[in-house]
């Protein structure tokens, strides 16, 4: 999935969490090397390129590996409990990517470095997927907005009744 959609879905999940900004950061952390590398290439050459070097490859694969990420997140959760719930945005990113990456582009290897396995999911570059994903996001944000607005109206009515 694209980084913007990762952020938008994560915000919906963590909207009431006091550490929601950290959740947004961890929701795009796995894609940061790609974003930085592509931005650097664009600024240096004027071309958006995904060709990479070995260091980038290892970093990108490691940040997208459930084998690496889950132990880190679970150990920190066992130590710090609810204070680090925002960290679960990171493995959530990986799980979503398993199903929204095809073997055609940005091949996802969630068991790296122990396995070369990849699941051939939906290509998130597919226009139909992008349209459906953003329609669902729009509907979800509308429902959240409508819910917040109705609660606000109820609170305003109860305040007026007391006066």
* Cα–Cα distance measured from residue 7 to residue 86, given in angstroms and rounded to the nearest whole number: 13
What pLDDT, on a 0 to 100 scale, did the predictor assign at position 26? 98
Rounded-to-integer distance, Cα 81 and Cα 153, Å: 35
* pTM for this predicted structure: 0.86
SS (H, E, C) 73-104: HHHHHHHHHHHHHHHHHHHHHHHHHHHHCCCC
Q: Report whether 103 contacts 124 (CB < 8 A).
A: no
105 and 134 housed in the same domain: no
Q: What is the C-alpha R_g of the chain?
A: 19
Q: Distance between CA 60 and CA 16 in Å, rounded?
A: 30
Q: Which domain holds residue 137?
A: 126-163
Do residue 151 and residue 87 come from a single domain? no
**Do both 52 and 118 map to the same domain?**
yes
Check whether residue 134 and residue 111 sit in a common domain: no
pLDDT, one tens digit for every residue, the chain (163 residues): 999 999 999 999 999 999 999 999 999 999 998 888 888 888 888 887 766 678 888 998 999 999 999 999 999 999 999 999 999 999 999 999 999 999 887 788 999 999 999 999 999 989 999 999 999 999 999 999 999 878 776 666 655 555 5
Same domain, 39 and 86: yes
Pair 20, 41 in one domain: yes
Same domain, 64 and 142: no
Cis peptide before 46 (omega within 30 of 0): no
Burial of 51 (0-12, 13-18, 19+ CB in 10 A): exposed
Overall domain count for the chain: 2
Is residue 19 located within the same domain as residue 64?
yes
- Residue 158 pLDDT: 55
Q: Are residues 114 and 154 in the same domain?
A: no
């Amino acid at each position: 999935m694209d980084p913007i959609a990762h952020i938008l879905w994560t915000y919906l999940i963590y909207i009431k969490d006091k550490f929601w900004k950290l959740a947004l950061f961890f929701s795009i952390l796995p894609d940061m090397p790609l974003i930085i590398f592509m931005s650097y290439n664009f600024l240096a050459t004027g071309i958006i390129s995904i060709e990479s070097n070995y260091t980038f490859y290892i970093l990108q694969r490691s940040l997208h590996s459930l084998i690496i990420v889950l132990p880190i997140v679970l150990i920190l959760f066992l130590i710090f409990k609810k204070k680090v719930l925002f960290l679960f945005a990171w493995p959530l990113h990986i799980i979503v990517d398993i199903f929204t990456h095809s073997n055609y582009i940005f091949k996802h290897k969630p068991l790296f470095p122990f396995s070369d396995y990849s699941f051939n999911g939906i290509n998130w570059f597919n226009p139909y997927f992008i349209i459906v994903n953003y329609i669902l996001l729009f509907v979800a944000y509308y429902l959240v907005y409508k819910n917040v607005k109705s609660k606000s109206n109820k609170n305003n009515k109860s305040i007026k009744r007391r006066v």
